[in-house]
Each structure stands twice: as C-alpha cells, then as structure tokens.
Amino acid sequence: MADDLNKSDNSDLHHPLLSALAPLLGARIEAAHLCPETGLLALAAYAGQRIILGAGLGPHATGLGLLPRVPRSRAPSSHPLVAAMRAHLVDRRVASLFVSPDGALCLLAGSEDGATARLSLHIGRKGRACVVAPSGATISWPVGAEADPSPTPIERFTSSISSTDDLANLGAALLEASDRRALESRRAFLLRTVKMRLKALERRAEAVGGDLARLDDAPRLQKIGRLLTAQASRIPRGAARATLDDWEEGGSIEISLDPDKPAKAQAETFFAKARRLQRGAAVMRQRLDETLRAAALLPPIADAIASAPLEPAALDALATRARAAGVAIADSPSASSASAKPTRRDPQERRPFHTFHGSGGKPILVGRGGKDNDALITKFARPHDLWLHAKNIHGAHVIVPLEKGANPPADLLVDAATLAAHFSDARGESACEVSYVERRHVRKPRKSAPGAVTFDREKVITVRVEPARLARLLSSKEET
C-alpha cells in the first residue's frame, strides 16, 4: 500500500483534465466538506488563490468542477469521510494528480515528514470517495450496496473539459444543483416534522377527549354506590355479580363485584371512581385546551413552509417559528438528517414506557402497563435508578434514571411521585402515598402476574397532586 501511495508517475498533465487541474499541484489543502444528501464533495486548497475542487459522487450531484464557494449544506466533522479527509489531507500539499486504471481521479497529499495520503474519487450517480491514510488504513463513502461496484470512468464526465474555465463553469452548475436539492430536502424535512407534530397533537386531543367523555359515567357510578349501599344486605357473601333494583329510574342494573369483599364495602369503590373522574376533569380540560391551542398554530406554519422560497434565510425563519410553536427541530440540521425520510417503526423497537420530563428537564419513565412494566424494570432500568409505585394500589411502574450514588432532587422526586399517582387507580385523588426504592431492591418473582413485583427497603412519600404540576408533566410527554 505504501508503494501505491507514493505512486506519482501518472501525473500526466498532457491529459486534458489533469492539465485543467494543474493549479492544484503544490496547493495546501485548507478544508474538506461533504454534502451527503446530494453527494457533493468539496476540497478547498490555497496556492496564491483559493481553489475549491468539487466532485459529484451522486445521487443528485454528478460531475467534476471548480466551485465558486463551498456547499451551503455540509456534514458535521463527525461524518466518517469528513473526519478522514480532515485527519489525512487537510494541512498537506497536493503532491500529485492522476487518473487510476479504473477511471478514478486520484490526489496524493504529502506532508513535510514525507508521509503521503491518497484521495480517490469515482464520479457518478453511485460514485465513491476513498481516503487511504499513510498507514494504509482506508475509509470509503458510501459503503455497501450504496456504491456502484463498477464505477463509471471519469472520462465520461470530463470529455468536454479542456481548460480551467471549463471546470469553473461546470463547478458553478454543480454547486447550484447541489444547493437547490439540499434546500428542497430541508424544506421537505421541515414540512414533515411540523405535520408529524400536528398529528401527534391531534392524537393527544383525541385521547384526552375520550377521557373527558368518561366524565358522563360519574353520575351512574354514584347511583350504583347509593343503590349498593341500600341493597347490600340482599347480596350473598362471595357473589361476583349482583342485580340492583333501580329505584330512581325503574328497572334493574347488573354490576360486577369483588367476591372477596363485602358488598356494602364495595359501594365506596364506585363513589371513589366517580370522585376521581370529577377531580381529574379540570386537569383534563386544561390539557385539552393547551393541546388544541398548540395544534391550531401549526397549519399556518405548514402552509408557509410548503410555499416558502428556496432561500436559507426564509427556511431559517420558518424553522425558528416552528420551534416557537413547540416543534422539535434541530438548530442546524445536516443534509443527511434533512434527507432522511420517516420510516415505519419496527414493532420490536416499540418502547415499553412513556417518557416525561420533570424538574430540570430530567427524564421520568412511566410503564405502559402489565408486561411493559416488567420490561421497563428488567430491561431498561439500571440498579441505581429510582423505582416508584403508588402504595398498595394498582398502577404503572415509574423509573427515574440517576447517576450511580446520586439522590434525586426533591422537586424531581415529587414530579415522579405525581406521575406514579396519576397513572394508578388513585388518579383523581387529591393525595396519594407512593413507595420508592432503588431498582436494585425490586424483584420480579418467577411465574408472577404481569407487573407484579416484591421489594424491600421501602420509603414512602405522600404526594399532594397539584393540578399545575401535573399539567406541566403531562404536557412534557415525548411523542413516539
């Protein structure tokens, strides 16, 4: 490999392309950029003047030219090819240019200590770039099936090039096409992101509306409680079902009972369910109003994005407007992320928990129920994380991720306990006792029912459910 790197006998400047690229020889490479979405690679060098070599590796930028400037959309320095070019080419001088037998444009870059690195460029819709370090280590992009195993010879794209001016004209067209495609992709990405947020808000509004619809059930639950209190003496102990005479409206009502509890004692269960529905009404209505207001802001933004001009300033302004409306958009989305199309989530990737954000933006994980609670504590929670559960009440398992040896801040503990109370049968009650221990002290007995656990070293916090705190927590839910 070292012999290949030092190969320079193909620097035939009688070749029309190499003759046009002659100003690059001896130039110091200053920067290396890549627009992954379009495939435009840019190598900036200086030799009395700045020269930017542009190579279109596809799928949307193809060809070779001298660019008037670097592409607007560029991959971060963490991109493998960009990192390799900056490590092995930048701050070196172009020692040689040649066309390899397989039709690639090759550039050798040498340093003062004599070490030489090589950049090979296969131009085309399925082109490829390859950096070979002085040590022989090789980095190629793209990898796998994305690159054409039989690349097109560079002569097909450079047959009309006979001078540096030809390269400049081709480079200007190449850059314009790449920038336009990148801006189109960014606009489409912004529009998709806003629409996805709108759909998430619509789903949330539908869910909260369903919860509010259950408020209509409160009078029926209260009536059953009254009838059950009055007629409990007629119901035999251990009965799983009972028929109550409806003295208020006539007829009868069929209800299910817990055979392990006296019928009269179960009347309070119906009263408690009615109270929970009524007490949660204010929070649910507030959340529905907030959701509908947030959703109403998005259609005008989506319309503005759809008709926006392909100008960076216009798209930046719309991205800022969308973020102000609650849409999560990165400050500087890379071309690769902007071009990524949303794919259907693999069912295996479904998370068994919802993520909320408590005090300080810290995540709080709430199990979806049953087997999902088991998965949360056995597969996701770490031994030093905090586990919470409404005390002696059926409900969700809650996990607060913590650093090893850390204690949760008081506000974060109250936030987590509030969610544990809300996602339990105590929902709607003004106060609830919540158990909490480190996850290491929670055990899942073999063959136990879904969600059933045992634990020791229990601590208990009595949390008073504050509507404002609960509304803040519920609104922080990450949409999946």
Half-sphere exposure of residue 148, counting CA atoms within 13 Å on the CB side? Answer: 18
CA trace torsion 469, 470, 473, 477 (10° rounding): -160
Q: What pLDDT, on a 0 to 100 scale, did the predictor assign at position 326?
A: 86
CA distance 273 to 222: 9
Q: What pLDDT, on a 0 to 100 scale, did the predictor assign at position 88?
A: 94
pTM for the predicted model, two decimal places? 0.55
Q: Are 128 and 140 in contact (CB under 8 A)?
A: yes
Q: How far is CA 116 from CA 1, 136, 142, 216, in A?
A: 11, 10, 23, 78
CA distance 318 to 402: 37
Q: What pLDDT, on a 0 to 100 scale, did the predictor assign at position 14?
A: 56
Q: Specify which residues 241 forms β-bridges with.
A: 256
- pLDDT < 50: residue spans in the chain: 1-11, 13, 145-146, 331-348
The amino acid sitting at 397 is: H
Buried b or exposed e, range 286-310, using 16+ CB within 10 angstroms: bbbebbeebbebbeebbebbeebee
Q: What pLDDT, on a 0 to 100 scale, did the predictor assign at position 118?
A: 94
CA distance 38 to 336: 9
381 Rama sector, left if φ>0, alpha if ψ -120 to 50, beta otherwise: beta
CA distance 280 to 470: 10
Residue with tokens 């509507």: 467
Q: What pLDDT, on a 0 to 100 scale, did the predictor assign at position 401?
A: 94
Q: What pLDDT, on a 0 to 100 scale, did the predictor assign at position 143?
A: 67
Q: What pLDDT, on a 0 to 100 scale, did the predictor assign at position 89?
A: 94
The amino acid sitting at 428 is: G
Half-sphere exposure of residue 405, counting CA atoms within 13 Å on the CB side? Answer: 0
Residue with tokens 């050798």: 108
Cβ-based neighbours of 174, under 8 Å, separated by 6 or more: 40, 54, 56, 61, 63, 64, 65, 67
First to last CA, the chain: 48
Judged by DSSP in three states, 436 sits in strand
Q: Specify which residues 54 forms β-bridges with.
A: 42, 65
Q: Are 396 and 373 in contact (CB under 8 A)?
A: yes
Helices (H), strands (E): how many in the chain? 14, 19
Which two structure tokens, joined as six digits, stand for 189? Answer: 């990405």
